[in-house]
A and B are shown apart, each in its own frame.
Chain A
């Protein structure tokens, strides 16, 4: 497996890698790597075949028959579907641009989105390519743990529904800063809220952009940089011209496409087991390929399992998620962080009433939860029909499992259907990327234009025309910066950035939002100390965590590979050489084993052993917010609590929030 593919895989698993104990991406040059799977079409060089050769050479035992799995998108069909999506969304932008006249139109679609529409848009905003491709990939390789991992992403919405959605709708206007500055000293609070929003959005956006570039390169074979610029131009176009209205509709379209794709594919998977779930699970346990795959995995932990027992093990926890504390920490960041994500909070300002906000969260929960339940079928379906070995041969992280499954099951009906179905799912991935990045750009520009420019620089004195202009220019700048970061970060280690975004949202934003809405004594000092300590603690802990690259650890790993490869070479019959793939990994491991030095922070090994800082940084954020507020009490903030509390509970005085 080429090194570049490892990087591609790792960056696609951006969210997945948050808890991953798999190998990390390393930012080393990848020379002579195959740019895209679609170019490896000739059967002689297909990865599936290459993977079989060493197995046949080293063991005479009857290994389970491996399917020759490969992924090649039909370029003409795929690009046509992309063009259709671009065409439709551009039509939406033209229509939305005509309606976007005031700041309220730009940031909140004039408050004219219905609860149902907003529910679909939240789902579209939230489910990134990593959850679409990554989670079913995890299930296809690690079984139960992948499914367990998906649960937190839905449960997170209980916090959104019960604690933040309706109060934010009633107390806010366009941004996080609006909610926090209500009874505090607005200028410093808005400035800090904007910095935190921009930080969270940038972390998330960088991960999404890099993932988008790699995914597009892999799917349609365009170079990484072209893909980034293309996605970036569309994203900027949607946001600058169409504002929230266009972004909302792009997200709704994406959620619709995603759910149709998932339903269709699940239907095909169920068709194969005659719609009998028991038979479906039985075929997981009975699959000789899955049994073989699990035996090899547990062998690393010194456990011997074979046959049915190994198959059954695939349905039990512990194959992937091995550190419970890290999982609990991630769970906390998800459950509290989703409710502190600026691009999610912003969606509640687009609906007219608290009732509509409530309805939209409930609809979003059914869409998101429904999707993750279907993911089980897709993930296990891929494991049964493609075999884990086949999936790994295309992509070691399993991210391509859903796509190959679509192609394979479609082609079993008619070859052309396989191509069409694969192209359809590729365009779903494309729409997914566009919807998520647009939402992020909009949230970051709202914080800069509305909080910093209009309310801090101009003291709130800007007419509608100026506000909309400021918003458009800011989105353009944010979008261009996003493209530039995407271009620069091609080889960077971005896997931890989504976890970092959730950590900052849960440790910095959520404590101050909750305390602002529910605690009488809360004030300016509390907001600022909470935001600053929560944000710095999350970033700081990630900087010294195992997410970073530690050259000495890389060298240790590489030395083991060198030893293993040299042993393999010695066992070969005289005259025979290692396969090309093994030779390459040996050469690379030899280079890596010479690595010395320290991580970015000057450390030889991680100071903090968890990949997810939430379990420490969330309590720190709350404590800092409470202490800061108690140290500098403010009478005015306390007196204004009645107003905030009555407003957030009843929606009284909301006209101000909409009409400005």
Chain B
């Protein structure tokens, strides 16, 4: 199959591409670090702050349980937020870049 030849170096220097990859990199690594820190607080907290985990919040349901459950909602929330930003910003920037290059 014949393949279109792209000038990759030129695309990489295109301001639109630079904007795209700066925005993406900041978002992806920033939120990845956030989610990892939030996750590791769970085993660390359970081991070193048992007193906090025992505090009852609603009825017999304690902070530890709520915190573990919150991990699921934080992950889902982050996934949906990423989908929203990617669909709105990253995909739009990519389309604009491709249009600009007339590819």
8 A Cβ contacts from B7-34 to A: 8-9, 11-12, 17, 20-21, 24, 28-29, 31-32
Contact A652-B6, Cβ < 8 Å, known A312-B60, A331-B43, A358-B86? yes
The distance in angstroms between the C-alpha atoms of A312 and B3, with both chains bound, is 66
Which residues in B have their C-beta under 8 angstroms from that of A358?
82-83, 86
Assess whether B42 is in contact with A653, with CB atoms less than 8 Å apart.
no
How many angstroms from the CA of A640 to the CA of B92 in the assembled complex? 26
Residues from 138 to 173 in A contacting B, C-beta threshold 8 Å: 144, 147-148, 151-152, 154-155, 157-159, 161-163
The distance in angstroms between the C-alpha atoms of A282 and B98, with both chains bound, is: 59
- Contact: B11 with A318, CB < 8 Å? no
Main secondary structure of the interface of B (DSSP, over half): helix
Report how far A162 CA is from B32 CA in the complex, Å.
7
A285 cross-chain contacts in B, Cβ below 8 A: 60
A158 cross-chain contacts in B, Cβ below 8 A: 31-32, 35-36, 75, 78-79
Cross-chain contact of A144 among B44, B65, B76 (Cβ < 8 A)? B65
Chain A residue at minimum C-beta to C-beta distance from B48 = A324
Residues from 60 to 85 in B contacting A, C-beta threshold 8 Å:
60-62, 64-65, 68-69, 71-72, 75-76, 78-80, 82-83
A643 within 8 A of partner (CB):
yes
B39 contacts which of A152, A278, A282, A659 (Cβ < 8 Å)?
Answer: A152
A321 at the interface (CB under 8 A from B): yes
A617 shortest CB reach to chain B, Å: 17
- Is A342 interfacial (CB-CB < 8 Å)? no
Given contacts A151-B68, A154-B71, are A362 and B79 in contact (CB under 8 A)? yes
Please name 20 further chain A to chain B contacts, defined as beta carbons within 8 Å, in addition to the given A335-B36, A361-B79, sorted by A numbering: A148-B64, A151-B68, A158-B75, A158-B78, A278-B58, A278-B59, A316-B54, A317-B46, A318-B46, A324-B47, A328-B43, A331-B43, A355-B87, A358-B83, A362-B83, A366-B79, A369-B76, A646-B11, A653-B6, A659-B1
Beyond A154-B72, A650-B97, whether A148 also contacts B43 by CB under 8 A is yes
Instruction: Provide the residues of chain B in CB contact with A263, threshold 8 Å.
Output: none
| Closest 9 A/B residue pairs (Cβ) | A324-B47, A317-B46, A643-B8, A642-B12, A327-B43, A278-B59, A642-B8, A155-B39, A158-B35
* Given A152-B39, A324-B44: A369 and B75 interface contact (C-beta under 8 Å): yes
Can you give 7 contacting A-B residue pairs, CB < 8 Å?
Answer: A148-B64, A158-B78, A278-B61, A317-B47, A372-B72, A642-B11, A650-B97
Residues of chain A from 619 to 660 with CB closer than 8 A to chain B in the complex:
642-643, 645-647, 649-653, 655-656, 659-660
- Given contacts A646-B12, A653-B6, whether A317 and B39 have CB atoms under 8 Å apart is no
Report the bound CA distance from A355 to B47 in whole Å: 39
Q: Indicate if the CB atoms of B82 and A161 lie closer than 8 Å.
A: yes
- The answer to whether B32 and A163 have CB atoms under 8 Å apart is yes
| A373 interface residue per 8 A CB criterion | yes
Would you call B102 an interface residue if the criterion is a C-beta within 8 Å of the partner chain's C-beta atoms? no
A359 interfacial contact with B, CB 8 Å: yes
In angstroms, Cα B34 to Cα A516, docked, is 23
A315 touches B65 (CB 8 A): yes
Q: Known contacts being A144-B65, A317-B53, A355-B91, is A157 close to B75, with CB within 8 Å?
A: yes
Q: Is A281 an interface residue (CB 8 A)?
A: yes
Across the two chains, which residue of chain A brings its CB closest to B39? A155
A365 within 8 A of B: yes
**Given the known A-B contacts A162-B31, A324-B43, are A317 and B75 also in contact in the complex, defined by CB atoms under 8 Å?**
no
Chain A residues with CB under 8 Å of B40's CB are 328, 331
Residue of A161, A162, A281 touching B61 (CB-CB under 8 A) = A281
Contact B75 A315 (CB under 8 A): no
Q: Which residues of A contact B91 (CB under 8 A)?
A: 355
Which chain A residues numbered 598 to 628 have a C-beta less than 8 Å away from chain B?
Answer: none
Cross-chain contact B48 with A642 (CB below 8 angstroms): no
Docked Cα-Cα span, A660 to B3, in Å, equals 10
Q: Does B64 lie within 8 Å of A317, measured CB to CB?
A: yes
Residues of A within 8 A of B44 (CB): 324, 328
Contact of A655 with B3 in the complex, beta carbons under 8 Å = yes
Docked complex Cα distance between A647 and B65 (Å): 43
**Chain B residue at minimum C-beta to C-beta distance from A148:** B68
A51 to chain B, nearest CB (A): 29
List B contacts of A372 (CB < 8 A).
72
Instruction: Please give, as numbers and ranges, the residues of chain A lying within 8 Å of B12 by CB-CB distance.
Output: 642, 645-646
Residues on the B chain within 8 Å of A331, using CB: 39-40, 43
- Considering the complex, give the chain A residue whose CB is closest to the CB of B4: A653
What is the minimal beta-carbon distance from B78 to any residue of chain A, in angstroms?
Answer: 6
How far does the Cβ of A301 sit from chain B's closest Cβ, in whole Å? 13
Q: Which of A529-582 contact B (CB under 8 A)?
A: none
A355 to B3, CA, bound (A): 23
In whole angstroms, how far apart are the Cα atoms of A505 and B46 in the complex?
27
Max chain A C-beta neighbours (<10 A), residue from B29, B78, B79, B103: B79
**In contact, A653 and B32 (Cβ under 8 angstroms):** no
**Complex contacts, A144 vs chain B, CB 8 Å:** 64-65, 68
Question: A324-B44, A646-B12, A649-B24 are known contacts. Are A365 and B65 too (CB-CB below 8 A)?
Answer: no
- A335-B36, A335-B39 known; A646+B62 contact, CB < 8 A: no
Between B6, B8, B44, the greatest number of chain A beta carbons within 10 A of the residue's beta carbon is seen for B8
In the complex, the answer to whether B75 meets A162 with C-beta atoms within 8 Å is: no
Q: What residues of chain B lie closer than 8 Å to A659, measured between beta carbons?
A: 1
In the complex the two chains form, is B61's CB within 8 Å of A315's CB? yes
Report the Cα distance A637→B53, complex, angstroms: 50
Give Cα distance in the complex from A151 to B8, angstroms. Answer: 41
Which one of A321, A355, A652, A659 has the greatest number of beta carbons of chain B within 10 Å? A652
- Distance to closest chain B CB from A464 (angstroms): 12
| Closest partner residue, chain A, to B45 (CB atom) | A317
Task: List residues of chain A with CB within 8 A of the CB of B9.
Answer: 642
